[in-house]
Chain A
Amino acid sequence: MTSLNRETRRLEEAGSQLISDAFKAGADAAEVCGSYGSKSKISLEKQDYHLAASDEGYQFGIRVLKGQRQGFASTNSLNSKELKEVANRAVEIATFSPENPYFSIQSVAESSSAPNLALWDPTLALTSLQTQKEWIEHLRKEILKDKRIRLNEGTLEVGKSLSLVVNSKGTHQLESETYCAWSLMAMAADSETLTSFDYFSNIARQSARLGDHIVQTTARFREALLKNLKTGTAPSYKGKVVFSPRAVLDILIEPLCYHLNGRVILEGSSRWNLQTLGEQVLSPLLNLKDTAWLADRFSCGTFDREGTPTQNLQMIEAGVLGKIFLDHYSAKGLHQTSTGHASGGSSSLPSVGPHTLLVAPGATPFSELMRQTNSNTGALLLVHRFSGQTDPVTGDFSGVAKGAEWWVNGEFQFCVKETLISGNVFECLSQSLLGLSAETSIVDSGSESPAALIDGISVTSG
């Protein structure tokens, strides 16, 4: 399965040593999250090649319990003496930390329901620098096909990694992956207009047809950038706005996840709680699922930060609250079981977060959605990128709609500049949600959503 035999052995040995040293220092339970990564990257800057870089290293974090007291320490060293110091430091921290009844280190079952995710591609693992140069040349040539593009920076990175979670209760999870990730940050300029920066990133875990994939994603990004050169001014109004899939995820779904977070529910800062499960909390048009099993997305894997197997979860079905995200801490506090949503890396303590969110499509073709108009303006704003603030507690959001498009009767007119939008997430996803498009888009190799027609948005022209 993997050719990282030496690295796997080192990771396993260091994990065992850390747990053993922690027990010698007085720990009652211990968990090690370890990782190994090796990557090479080539970057572009100002239309040209900028830098080539390589990096290889390990990272270990050890969490220990002494009764109900917890300590954590991490290091990037493989040195046996330093590993012992790290284990001792974690125990020392636990010794002076007050008790917290929700801390636990638990035994979890090996993943049984997760499919074979095909995260490892032997061909990609052996990618030569020459091949990597060919791929980034595809990227550079494609984005610069139009002379109006100004490339600020671009990167293509090829890497392989290992993730390990072991604990003193018998949990043992190991996963390896390969990836090629590419990203661009650019703007467009002609004699009259300089557009805002735009950004995109993508990931692939298989080398097959990678060159084509890079060309296609870059071409789409270039065309979107050039569209921003046609600018105009929109009036201020309050009314209907279409949120693109990116806007739906960034502005509406991300703050929603704050309220679905088991730790936030446990601390009483969510608008929902266990009693709300099964209740209609949002528009019946909204269906939201979370999965970690899509191998072509950034966030995927068969186990979480605590080693708990991941699963597919229907978070919201027809507006009814179905599930919440739980790690062991929040699960213990709420008398539930973990849903496999402990997030974080080897140098951080577990927190809670989603994997890949999938908002289900609606019934209305996107073209039909865009034929809607506001009676006060005779037009409709299509919001893409959002540069602003969302208060997850209240759900209020306010910010600049970057590259937003002005449409009249289903036809694109121009992109607006210096235009702000504001509203409230929960109003947007309840009575103000008028429709979802039948088509969905994957945003930056991550979550996926349709476009949404939403009423009651304040649009302020600068």
Chain B
Amino acid sequence: MKDLASRIQQALESAPCWMEARYHRRRSHSLQVQKGLVKQTKANLTSGLGIRCLVDGAWGFSSTSDLSAEGIQKAMRQAIDCAKSISQMKKSAVPALPPTTLSQGEFTLEGYEALEKMPLQQKLQAALRAESEIRTASKLIQTSTCVYSEQFEDKILITTDGARALSRLARNEIRLSAIAADHGEMAEGQQTVGRTGAWDCLFTEHPMEEMGTTAAQLAVDLLKAPRIPGGLATLILSPAMVGLLSHEAIGHTVEADFVLSGSVAQGKLGHTVASPLVSLCDSGFLPQLPHAGGSLLVDDEGVPTQNTVIIENGVLKSYLHNRESAAAFGVAPTGNARAWLYQDEPLIRMRNTYVQPGNQSLQEIIESTEDGYLVDCPLGGQADATGEFMFGAQKVMKIEKGKIKHMYRGATVSGQAFDVLRSVDAVSKEFHLDLGAGYCGKGQPAKVDAGGPYLRCQATIGGVQE
């Protein structure tokens, strides 16, 4: 890595403009076990260099897997040609990037070496055991699946204005699925977890066996569950659901590129957008949760990541920035530029997004809920620039007069992000980052995490009408 870094540094010394070189080597493994059979065991290696430059107020980008000195020079020339090709057509030139704090040195997140040392065969044996746990949990289980995947990321980021960062991190995730069948009815239960770090950090909150039996029990319970009535309702969202809300409903609307395109958060800095009980952050690294799935120490522009307070006690404080958008807003970049592979240019993306915990216990919140639902087990979601969001939940429990009652089949929850945040009237002290094995899709995938406390709010459930 250091030799390659020197070769890249040397090549960049001849750059006639601002230039960024990002080498990215990703090694990944994936295993899939289903009904006692190994369906998939694979290894992937992708490596190459992405060159981005700013010429005459226009961005150019080129990527190559040829890492020879000639290959690097060729990619540099192509990036410059690309930038020149559109510089005359741009209506508004990108100004030179202002100086900012840039990372220099080596940045490694804990767990890389431990995960690397653990043989793939050992992980396969664990996946076989996990799948077996699901299959034998109930006679109603028709199909049981365990998918494990891991990625080792090695990066070199060098810019002509001073960044020189070598970073390493490992991410892993496990997905357990159970499909139950009974008298023609079928239902699926899932449990997933995604972390940054070694094998063991996947199971710090729930042992693998427990995850398997939970997935199986959920599938069996859902077989008999009725469909939920649709309409506006009082909801207690679990930490995982709060994570989805934080990410989908708020996080995307405050990404500065969306803000500049006219998202609902445009012009709202300093405004009250949520209940004073709500404080929302996006962090590259949380010392108290070092294995959060979206952790990174340096972003793909060489900016050190930080804990960005987006909403503080209900007031919108900051957007999420890369270097270009930060310059446009006259603020410091927040370390949110991320690229999926070396062929991808960095985009503004979230990392670990969460609502800060409150003072009440979950039990107190449930007991003070007259009529509502406890919503858990996220299934993914989407958001709009308008702030309208939706996310799916596998498990919805009815609450009546302060007590948890029966389960409904999964449902979709929707609302207008800031309206929902204004309706928050209770925030628990229990807190988890719990997005599971989720990825964010915004042109490119990005591994993110999200979570928070239990939170009571008003939102619309997309259920049945009579």
A: which residues have CB within 8 A of B?
A: 40, 42, 45-58, 70-78, 82, 86, 89-90, 93-94, 96-98, 100, 102, 129, 133, 137, 150-153, 187, 189, 194-197, 236-238, 267-269, 271, 347-349, 387-389, 391, 393-394, 396, 398-400, 402, 417-418, 420-422, 458-460, 462
Contact = CB atoms under 8 A, between A and B. Distances in A.
25 contacts: A49-B86, A49-B91, A51-B60, A52-B59, A52-B83, A54-B63, A55-B62, A55-B64, A57-B63, A76-B48, A96-B121, A100-B39, A102-B37, A150-B261, A152-B261, A196-B388, A197-B385, A348-B42, A389-B379, A418-B388, A420-B390, A420-B461, A420-B462, A422-B412, A460-B462
Given A51-B345, A422-B230, A458 B41 contact: no
Nearest to B145: A267
Contacts of B386: 187, 194-196
Contacts of A89: 43
B43 A74 contact: yes
B41 A387 contact: no
Contacts of A347: 44, 46
B333 to A, nearest CB: 17
B345 A53 contact: yes
Given A133-B89, A267-B34, A418-B460, A57 B48 contact: yes
Contacts of B260: 46
Interface in B210-268: 227, 230-232, 257-258, 260-262, 264
Closest 3 CB pairs of A and B: A420-B462, A389-B392, A460-B230
Determine chain B's interface SS by DSSP, over half rule.
Answer: strand
Contact of A458 (B82, B187, B230, B385): B230
Contacts of A56: 64
Contacts of A90: 43
Contacts of B63: 53-55, 57
Contacts of A393: 179, 186-188
Given A86-B45, A387-B390, A133 B179 contact: no
Contacts of B91: 47-49
A93 B90 contact: no
A97 B38 CA distance: 7
B373 to A, nearest CB: 14
A420 to B, nearest CB: 3
Contacts, number: 242
A422 B230 CA distance: 9
Contacts of A53: 60-63, 82, 345
A72 B230 contact: no
Contacts of A55: 62-64, 343
A400 B414 contact: yes
Interface in B51-97: 58-65, 78-79, 81-83, 85-86, 89-92
B179 A75 contact: no
Interface in B162-196: 179, 181, 185-188
Contacts of A76: 45-48, 65
Interface of A is mostly: strand
A187 B227 CA distance: 34
Contacts of A70: 38, 41
Contacts of A417: 388
Contact of A49 (B58, B227, B380): B58
A151 B257 CA distance: 11
A237 B230 CA distance: 10
A420 B230 contact: yes
A40 B83 CA distance: 12
A462 B345 contact: no
B231 A394 contact: no
Contacts of B47: 76-77
Contact of B262 (A52, A72, A133, A187): A187
A417 B419 CA distance: 14
Nearest to B380: A389
A315 to B, nearest CB: 21
Given A52-B58, A70-B41, A388-B392, A458 B86 contact: no
B317 interface: no
Given A100-B37, A393-B179, A459-B465, A187 B385 contact: yes
Contacts of A271: 186
Given A57-B65, A387-B382, A45 B86 contact: no
A141 B59 CA distance: 21
Contacts of B83: 52
Interface string B433-453: 000000000010000000000
A150 B460 contact: no
Interface string B83-122: 1011001111000000000000000000000000000110
A388 B381 CA distance: 7
Contacts of B86: 42, 49, 51-52, 133
